[in-house]
Structure 1
Amino acid sequence: MSGCFRPFGFGGLLLLAALTASMLVLPLVLPPLPPPPLMLLFFPVGLMAALVFLAFSPAETVGNVVVHTL
């Protein structure tokens, strides 16, 4: 029963530790990068706008008509 809930094995933990170390060390070693093009900066804003629009748009219930007969 103790091995039933193990989200990460030793290899997964090692991979996560290496990823964390690279995220901490690489920005200090690499030269600064130029800013991305303006169109790439609008992509997350457009994606967020589409998700907000879908979240607040009313559900289409015309096709979900249920008729009860006795």
Structure 2
Amino acid sequence: MSRAITSIFLIGSIGYFGFRYRYRLINLLLASGWLRRLAVGSIMSFPGVKNKMLQTVFGGPSER
């Protein structure tokens, strides 16, 4: 029982501090070139995100 409560408290604490300092963590992770390339590549693999990004950058008819 004590181990379960400790685990829940630890996960909750990590989640709280991760959320509180989320922008610092993102900046720290994206400072590395290969992590930035991995993040952008994985986000651009989603078709909806890719289409929206290309429409924004190159103009074109917007879908509503």
Instruction: Quickly name the TM-score band, shorter chain normalised.
Output: 0.3 to 0.5
Larger helix share, 1 or 2: 2
TM-score by length of 1: 0.33
